Amino acid sequence: MYGRYRRATSVTRSRIGGGFIALSEKTVDLSSLLLDPNNYRFQDVEGFVIASEDRFHEASVQHRALDRLRRAGLTELKNSILANGYLPFERIVAKPYGQDGDDQLLVIEGNRRVAALKWIKDDHDAGVEIRADVLAVLEDVPVTIVSREDEESDPALILSLMGVRHVGGIREWGGYQRAKLVSTLRDEFELDTAEIASRLGMTAHEVNRRYRAFKALEQMMDDEEYGDQAGPELYPHLHEAVGRTVIKDWLDWNDEEMRFESAENLSRFYGLITESEGDDGTTNPPKLPTREAVRELRYILPVAEARQILFDQSNSFHDALAVAKADVLSQTWVTQVAEAIAALRRVGALDLRHLSQDDLNEIRSLKDTATELLDLHKQLTE
């Protein structure tokens, strides 16, 4: 049923983390390539479940994976191949699947390209006319193959290869998928921050922030009251929460336990980022619907009046932000006046002798404005 590897073109050695791996380049029949049903691209999709690896080859499992990729915006790539031919600038990367001697390959990197080719083959089998050069590729797909030996010697190798491409490469994964990858490498493969950063081309700071955010999301998923509303779509909100000192301190983040400790404030925060039920039974949208809104908490939380407005159901997020920003603006003009006074006090005798008429007018204007404000303050307070 499955085609044999056609030919080995070359063997290269590539650096991953602290070592090197051997990668062989071959051309194979499309039928030899299995899509990965546990592709990280699927893992923030509602209803996603992990498939058992010993069932990846089953037709129903492959059909489901192909259908998911089709619904995830594959038409543009398919049409590009049909119009321009298959351009293998980005190699498909795969590993041997099944027992030694089997000729099936599980796609590690390039699931979208393989899915597009399989879709084209389905069209051809259904009678659609396909250009000859594209049909030829279906029998000789260029693939880079990772050896069983390298995978066995480095259990985290496959995830690392995926991460190199999708954490910072072309058609990046979303934040949730990247964080899940970091968490898996750290928790299941026990790699430290430096090793993960090296393998994925990330900074240590980014690795740690994504790990904290993923753990914060897991904590929310375990919450009795809000767990049913927690999902990958809220990862960006928690990414902001663990990355902003003001928010992190308010929620009392414990870096040893990797969790928030302030139960009261955490419940308030969850209430802000999830839907709530109004007194009349209607569903109210989250007050903080986006990561950008969560980011604005850095202005709201330090201002008591703004906090009070935020947690009042009758007020909106924008009401609270307006009060917080007004307080910031108030502090700004006081700072600017203090800086102006300090600047005037630094004017020396030599500078005073050479002041122009415009300079003198600016000083007089400053004096007149200060006098007007003091008079107005006196009228308002007496």
Q: Which residue has the higher pLDDT, 173 or 204?
A: 204
Q: What is the predicted pLDDT for the residue at 162?
A: 60
Q: What is the predicted pLDDT for the residue at 84?
A: 84
Q: What is the predicted pLDDT for the residue at 159?
A: 61
**Mean pLDDT across 272-298:** 91
Residue 278: is its pLDDT beyond 70? yes
Q: What is the predicted pLDDT for the residue at 107?
A: 92
Q: Which residue has the higher pLDDT, 348 or 92?
A: 92
Mean pLDDT, the chain, integer = 83
Q: What is the predicted pLDDT for the residue at 151?
A: 55
Q: What confidence category does residue 342 fall into, taking pLDDT thresholds of 50, 70 and 90?
A: confident
The pTM assigned to this predicted structure is 0.57
Q: What is the 3-state secondary structure (H, E, C) of the chain?
A: CCCCEEEEEEEEEEEECCEEEEEEEEEECHHHEECCCCCHHHCCCCCCCCCCHHHCCCHHHHHHHHHHHHHCCCHHHHHHHHHHCCCCCCCEEEEECCCCCCCCEEEEECHHHHHHHHHHHHHHHCCCCCCHHHHHHHHCEEEEEECHHHHHHCCCHHHHHHHHHHCCCCCCCCHHHHHHHHHHHHHCCCCCHHHHHHHHCCCHHHHHHHHHHHHHHHHHHCCCCCHHHCCHHHHHHHHHHHHCHHHHHHCCEECCCCEECCHHHHHHHHHHHCCEECCCCCEECCCCCCHHHHHCHHHHCCCHHHHHHHHCCCCCHHHHHHHHHHHHHHHHHHHHHHHHHHHHHCCCHHHHHCCCHHHHHHHHHHHHHHHHHHHHHHHHHC
Q: What is the predicted pLDDT for the residue at 33?
A: 96
Q: Which residue has the higher pLDDT, 351 or 261?
A: 261
Q: What is the predicted pLDDT for the residue at 16?
A: 46
Residue 102: is its pLDDT beyond 80? no
